[in-house]
Amino acid sequence: MIYRFMIGNYPDSYWFQYDSTVVANYEFLQCKEIQTNKPLVFKIENKVSEKRLLSYDFFFSDGPEFISPRLANLLSNNQDFLHDVQLIEATIIVNGCSHSGYKALNFLRLISCIDMNKSEYIPLLESLPDGPKEFYKMVFKENINEQFCMARCEESEGRIVISESLRQFFIKNKVKGIDLYT
């Protein structure tokens, strides 16, 4: 069984701004390794509670998603995960203070997982009927044989899915910031 990667109880004020000068946003949609020797930078302009914000494991931005040093450490020995996702060094800036050890997620896998016959959608742009889609109802394919931990959906590259085993890993380790129960 697969699950859609969803934001959990994550406040709007915790969305980061991504500095795309090191790696452009579109490169994260290519499902290819990214080469950089500089850490990616994410920052929040508004004043927030650092203690509360830094208690999360998954973080969201106007660019790629990224994870906490705690979760990066937990995943560092998970070869299945590291086969599917490249972890890229990241620094976050909160209330003017810099924090290192974070990792941006670059998804390397692209799988066909949405049942387009059972899903309801329209083209995002009428002029590109085979382009990006706006889904009203998304149904995942049954019996996906491909083994994966985390991947982009081939039918809608902005959507991320996770496997049952990764979901259980996140539940066991009390990962905070994503919805693991839908």
The b/e string for 29-51 (b: 16+ C-beta within 10 A; e otherwise) is eebeebeeeebbbbbbeeeeeee
pLDDT of residue 126: 84
Tell me the domain boundaries of the chain: 2-111+145-179
Chunk the chain into consecutive blocks of 10 residues (it has 182) and report each block's average pLDDT, rounded to whole numbers: 85 93 94 96 94 94 96 93 96 96 97 93 86 88 87 91 93 91 58
pTM over 0.85: yes
Q: What pLDDT, in 10s, does the model give residues 98-124? A: 999 999 999 999 999 999 999 999 888
**Distance, CA of 136 to CA of 120 (rounded, Å):** 5
| Cβ atoms < 10 Å from Cβ of 167 | 20
**What is the C-alpha separation between 128 and 119, in angstroms, rounded?**
19
The pLDDT assigned to 29 comes to 92
Residue 99: predicted pLDDT: 97
C-beta neighbour count of 124 within 10 angstroms = 13
Coil/strand/helix, residue 129? coil
Half-sphere exposure for 182 (CA within 13 Å, toward CB): 9
